[in-house]
Structure 1
């Protein structure tokens, strides 16, 4: 295997990792601040992708579509938090799971009613088309490099937001002692709405960026949601830093498994079966990694620290 091919797989893993970070950062903030299990988080990913595709098709501008994905997902998150979620904070986790699962069905059927059952497609903007030559002669798509850069920028922005702003101070305090900050005069309801809308917007941004790499379709958020939960469990629930590290780890492990394991399986089973066996093992690999990490650190890598 050449160094060029290995570098391409590492970059693919990083690109998957930053997309998962955009999903899981909002999810871990919502759980950390509100103590809410939100199964509908993948629906905001889908909303962002559809908003981007619809606006880009209507205006011819991918950038307006990207802005629409943020605005649409944030608006959907605000509406859902006000209408449904705020009634669940004091309820049992089972009630939260059932209610947010119902929201998945509502969003899926509503999206199908608005856009139909056929997938939509997003075109990569001309400025991000083609491939760039990286050191070592590696040719890699410009758009995927831009997605990696976007993830790094969002991670830096979240770090500055949480560590350097008054809102971030309230988010950190809300994770540790909601009752105390409420007694000090902080509007907990408003804080919850802001955090939920922020998490939804990040998920919508992830959906929009991925929409240009694959089709935009109903139900696209559920498979990604499963990986996002793996990420926050590995990183530590409530930790944005843990979400970043966990997302990169999951992205690299998943990409490496899907590339290497079918080839390794070919050494032991007939070539016709190697792909199937290798793919099956690759799909299990991230859960094996999660189990090992939880055996060593039961609360995740960076539990309870945003």
Structure 2
């Protein structure tokens, strides 16, 4: 394998990783602060993608499409928290799983009713189209580099929000002792709605950004949701830093595994068999990574020790 191909796959892994972080950051915030298992988080990813595709088709503006995705998913998230999720905080996790799974079905059928069953397409804007020449003779798509930069900026923004703002202090306190901050006069219901809306908005923004490099279709959020759960388990529930590092690990493992493992097995067997075996192992690689991390540290890389 050439060094140029390897470098391109590393960049692909970073791009996948930062988009997984944007998706998983909201999920880990919701679980860490509220203790809520939200299976419908992938549906919010899908809603953001469809909102962006619809607005881009109507206005031709990619930036308006991103704003629409963020606003639509955050608004839907806030509405869902007030109407449905608020009744689940004192219920066990099985009730939360069943209720949020029902939301997946509602959102999927509702989206199909509004937009139809055929995929929509969100075009990359002309100013982000085309390749960029990088050192070493690497030609890499401008849009994917932009995704990496945007994801890292979102990570920085979340870090500043959590560590430097009054809302961030309340969120961190809510993770540790929600009864105490409620006793100190913090409106816990309002805090939960804000946190859920932030998480939903991030999921929708991720859906819009990814929607420009794949088709926008019903059910597109569920595969990403599985990877997001892997990320928060590896990184540690409630940890933004853990989510970022774990997302990058998962992205690089998934991308490099799909290239390196088939190439490795070609040395020992026929090309077709090597591709089949290598691809199968590559699809298992992130789960093997999760198992190894949990054996070493059951609470995740940056989770609180029990």
Shorter chain as normaliser: what TM range?
over 0.9
State the match for 1:54 in structure 2. Answer: 54
Q: TM-score, normalised by structure 2?
A: 0.98
How many angstroms apart in 2 are the aligned matches of 1:210 and 1:304?
32
Instruction: Give the 5 Å matches for 1:271-290.
Output: 271-290=271-290
Name 1:115's counterpart in structure 2: 115
Cα displacement string for residues 71-115 of structure 1 (whole angstroms, at most 9, x for unaligned residues): 010011011101100000000000000000010000000000000
3-state SS in 2 of match to 1:140: strand
RMSD of equivalent CA atoms: 0.9
Unaligned runs of 5+ in 1: none
Q: Identify the residue that residue 226 of structure 1 maps to in structure 2.
A: 226
Matches within 5 A, 1:49-198: 49-198=49-198
Q: Give 5+ residue unaligned stretches, structure 2.
A: none
Q: Deviations over 1:273-299 (max 9, x none)?
A: 222221111110000011001001110
Structure-2 separation of matches of 1:301 and 1:18 = 17
Q: Return the alpha-carbon distance in structure 2 between the equivalents of residues 102 and 277 of structure 1.
A: 36
| Secondary structure class of the residue paired with 1:139 | strand
Q: Paired residue for 2:264?
A: 264
Number of residue pairs matched?
305
- Cα distance between partner residues in 2 of 1:232 and 1:244: 9
Output the CA distance in 1 between the equivalents of 2:181 and 2:34.
13
SS, match of residue 71 in structure 1? helix
Distance in 2, matches of 1:272 and 1:115, equals: 40
SS of alignment partner, residue 132 of structure 2: strand
The TM-score, its normalising length taken from structure 1, stands at: 0.98
CA gap of 1:25–1:304, structure 2 versus 1, over 3 A, is: farther
Q: Larger deviation: 74-83 or 266-275?
A: 266-275
- How many Å apart are 1:304 and its aligned residue? 4.1
* Matches of 2:144 and 2:108, distance apart in 1: 28
The match for 1:244 is 244
